[in-house]
Chain A
Amino acid sequence: MKCRQCKFENMPGLDRCFQCGAVLKDKVAVDVHPPRMSGWKAPLRDLGRWVRKRRASGRGREQVPEAEARSDAYMEGAEIALAAVLSIVPGFGHIVRGQFDRVWWQVLLWMVLAAMAVYAYGSAYGYLMFGLAAGLHARIAVHWPDEEELRGFKRLGVMIAMFIVAAVAYRVVFHGVVDGRLIWARTPIAVEGKNIRTGDMLLARRRFDPQDIQTGSLLVVDLPRLLVGQARGGPFVQTNVVVQVIGTAGDTVEVHGNGFSLNGRELDLTGYSYPAWLKDREMSAVVPSGRLFISAEYQVRGNVEFGNRIALQACLMDESDVKGIIFMRWLPFSRRGYLAE
């Protein structure tokens, strides 16, 4: 009797093949109906499978025989190197490798962060977005190898290195794309004549001609806080504050209760802001050389009245402290435009 499986010629009367053990008779008593899975088990099985897949991807190539892994690495090495170089543009390396579907959402998020970084460039928000975008770029660039080869400190090291490279690259690129000498500041003052309201975002140029600073100009400066009475602690400087120039060197400025006079001429308050803390105050000064008389919304700390000497000191600032001259309303979109218009 010949075995169907191994073709071994067996002695007559045997139930199973002498060589391979396969059944020889056609008639055997055996249940031929397979077991079936209950419906409720399906999600549990799916969960178990998902866990096993995650664990397997975590272990990476450890399961694969060494020689096989080496040959694969050899074949894919050149492609990975090319993809790494192309990852200078986030996600491009993955497109070349046909694995963009693994990082598409990260690339999308990176685009959003980069757009926000460009948009808010010069502000603290802009720098935050800038850092996040650089970090995400680093993450995308090492995404492919990190799952299979880079683990632990090695992975962290590569990530940090990529972050530094990305940050430096961004610094260079951003200066090309965006004028690096722009400052972005939220105004605490409102100037009706210039269509500026409290809280608007304004854009200033860092590089400017000192001759451009005239009466009515809006500037971005770092202001010291007014500390009076028993006030203690807290930050002493407000950064990127918007102020308005009332008088330049040689001008005589008078403060009379609720308005300014410049060289004896009353200023129209639709084009100028009058800060609340100067209300009902009377004083006058000749602006010294190299200084500016400004209208600024100081944050006054303390609860003691202060005299005109301190008030005057607060209104006069050095020209050299000016960080930028404002030229554009940036936000909201509905009122965006150049101030000269």
Chain B
Amino acid sequence: MSRFRQLEFDESFEEPKGGDEQRGTPVRDEKYFHDLAVQFWLGGDYELALRNYSRSLEVRATFLEGWAGQVRMLIELGEYAEARKWADKAMELFPEHPDLLAAKAVAAARDAMWQDAMACSDAAIGKPNAGARVWMSRAEVLSLRNRAVAETCITNALSMAGVLKPFIHLESGRLFMRTGNYYAAIEHLNLAVRLLPRSALAWLELSKCQMALGRDEANVTLEQCLKLRPDWDEARIMIGRPTGWLRRLRARIFRR
């Protein structure tokens, strides 16, 4: 703390920033909380991720990634109505922003409101600055209606992902797994764990996929996930599940 703190200066005076930085403490700005939120999301802790997105907005209320992240976390938590409401609220600040429209489309699609989902997805994709997340949401909306076109959307998303590529691979893998296309899912999830080796979520999704296909390495993958997040109940429950010939046979008959 500055020793001139108690002295009276005019109002334009601001204490110089960076004092804490020099001592190695990170600046707790919106980006700091955003990064934390992403870390928690990759660790599968959606509640903490949501809280950190909120903190990032407390620092700067016009931080778009914070709003979009909040909506995504509400979707992860299965609170679709709230996610749509919050996307509308965010769009008061960022009218018709494609990322927010895309997130709203996903929330509507998962809530089985197909017409709303298609309308939002159409609106998002029509914007000039539609990015990878918009195409991912398009893929999800279409895949829930059993559309083969969804795969093309994922290809588009990956082609414009840039730095988001690891996340898009993870999301693609999860999407394919939800639709039962485990072979396509496992390709994306393998890439995701290679690009995000510290993500417990990616490891867990990969192990789920391997388990559905009856592959023996599922337990090893699951152990890797538990190393990263030992207290994750979802992973701990799965560790005892069999991956024997019966599961392989079932996977062969029921899945392509």
B114 adjacent to A56 (CB under 8 Å):
yes
Query: In whole Å, how far is B95's beta carbon from the nearest beta carbon of chain A?
Result: 4
Measured between C-beta atoms, what is the minimum distance from B12 to chain A in Å?
A: 17
**For B58, what are the chain A residues with a Cβ–Cβ distance below 8 Å?**
32
A26 close to B60 (CB less than 8 A): yes
A75 within 8 A of B: yes
**Given A32-B54, A34-B50, A37-B81, do A56 and B62 touch, yes or no (CB 8 Å)?**
no
Report the count of interface residues on B (CB-CB < 8 A): 40
6 A-B pairs in the complex with CB atoms less than 8 angstroms apart:
A29-B61, A34-B74, A34-B89, A36-B82, A45-B81, A64-B145
In the complex, the answer to whether B61 meets A28 with C-beta atoms within 8 Å is yes
Interface contact B254-A101, CB-CB below 8 Å: yes
Complex CA distance for A21 and B93, rounded to whole angstroms: 8
Contact, CB under 8 Å: A35 / B254 = no
Residue A307, interface by CB 8 Å:
no
Interface string of A1-34 (1 = CB under 8 A from B): 0001110000000000000111101111110111
By a CB distance below 8 angstroms, the chain B residues around A98 are: 180, 254-256
**Given the complex of chains A and B, what is the CA–CA distance between A95 and B250 in angstroms?**
11
| Residues of A close to B89: CB separation below 8 A | 34
Best-buried of B64, B85, B89, B112 by chain A (most CB within 10 Å): B112
CA distance A254 to B52 in the complex (A): 104
Residues of B within 8 A of A (CB): 50, 54, 57-58, 60-62, 64, 66, 70, 74, 77-82, 85-86, 89, 93-97, 111-115, 129, 145, 147-149, 180, 253-256
Tell me the complex Cα distance, A98–B89, Å.
Answer: 42
Q: What is the chain A residue whose CB lies nearest that of B256?
A: A98
Report the minimal beta-carbon distance from B254 to chain A, rounded to whole angstroms.
4
Interface size on A, residues (CB 8 A): 36
* B57 cross-chain contacts in A, Cβ below 8 A: 32
Report the minimal beta-carbon distance from A140 to chain B, rounded to whole angstroms: 15
Report B-chain residues with C-beta under 8 Å of the C-beta of A177. none
Q: Which of B86, B147, B254 has the most CB of A within 10 A?
A: B254
Question: Cβ of B94 and Cβ of A22 under 8 Å apart?
Answer: yes
Q: How far is the CA of A45 from the CA of B58 in the complex (A)?
A: 30
Q: Residue on A with the closest CB to B95?
A: A21
A-side contacts of B79, CB under 8 Å:
36-37
Q: Known interface pairs A32-B61, A95-B253. Does A52 touch B93 (Cβ–Cβ under 8 Å)? A: no
CB atoms of B255 and A72 under 8 A apart: no
- Check A104 for interface membership: any CB of B closer than 8 A: yes
- In the assembled complex, how far is the CB of residue A144 from the closest CB belonging to chain B, in whole angstroms? 11
B93 touches A34 (CB 8 A): no
Whether A23 and B54, one on each chain, are in contact in the complex, defined by CB atoms closer than 8 angstroms, is no
- The answer to whether the Cβ of A53 comes within 8 Å of any Cβ in the partner chain is yes
| Cα separation A6 to B94 with both chains bound (whole Å) | 10
Cβ of A67 under 8 Å from chain B? no
**Is A63 in contact with B115, judged by CB distance below 8 angstroms?**
yes
- A49 within 8 Å of B by Cβ? yes
Chain B residues with Cβ below 8 Å from A28 are 61-62, 93
Q: How far apart are the CA atoms of A5 and B61 in the complex, in Å? A: 15
Contacting pair A104 B112 (CB below 8 A):
no
Query: Contact between A35 and B61 (Cβ–Cβ < 8 Å)?
Result: no
Query: With a CB–CB cut-off of 8 A, which chain B residues contact A21?
Result: 95
Which A residues touch B114, using CB under 8 A?
56, 63
| B64 CB, min distance to chain A CBs, angstroms | 7
A35-B86 in contact (CB<8A) = yes
Q: Which of A5, A52, A101 contacts B113 (CB 8 A)?
A: A52
Indicate if A100 sits at the interface (CB-CB under 8 A): yes
The 5 closest A-B pairs by CB, nearest first: A98-B256, A32-B57, A52-B112, A21-B95, A37-B79
Contact, CB under 8 Å: B94 / A5: yes
Contact check: which of A27, A37, A72 meets B82 at CB < 8 Å? A37
Enumerate chain B residues within 8 angstroms of A101, measured Cβ to Cβ. 180, 254-255
Partner of B95 from the list A20, A42, A45, A104 (CB cut-off 8 Å) is: A20
**Residue contact B78 to A42, C-beta cutoff 8 Å:** yes
In the complex the two chains form, is B148's CB within 8 Å of A34's CB? Answer: no
Q: A45 contacts which chain B residues (CB < 8 A)?
A: 80-81, 111
Complex CA gap A21/B96 in Å reads: 9
Contact A22 B254, beta carbon cutoff 8 Å: no
Contact with A25, one of B62, B66, B80, B97 (Cβ below 8 angstroms): B62
With A49-B112, A98-B256, A100-B254 known as contacts, the answer to whether A35 contacts B64 (CB < 8 A) is no
Query: Contact partner of B62 among A6, A26, A52, CB < 8 A?
Result: A26
Across-interface contacts of A56 in B (CB, < 8 A) = 112, 114
Cα A101 to Cα B254 in complex, Å, equals: 5
Bound Cα distance A25, B78 (Å): 32
| Contact in complex: A27, B61 (CB < 8 Å) | yes
Task: List B contacts of A75 (CB < 8 A).
Answer: 148
Q: How far is the CB of B246 from chain A (nearest CB, A)?
A: 14
Interface hits, A61-77 → B, CB 8 Å: 63-64, 68, 72, 75
- Beyond the given A32-B61, A68-B147, could you list 20 further A-B residue pairs with CB under 8 A, ordered by the A residue number? A4-B62, A5-B94, A5-B97, A5-B129, A21-B95, A22-B93, A22-B94, A23-B94, A26-B60, A26-B62, A28-B61, A32-B54, A34-B86, A35-B85, A37-B82, A49-B112, A63-B114, A95-B253, A98-B255, A101-B254
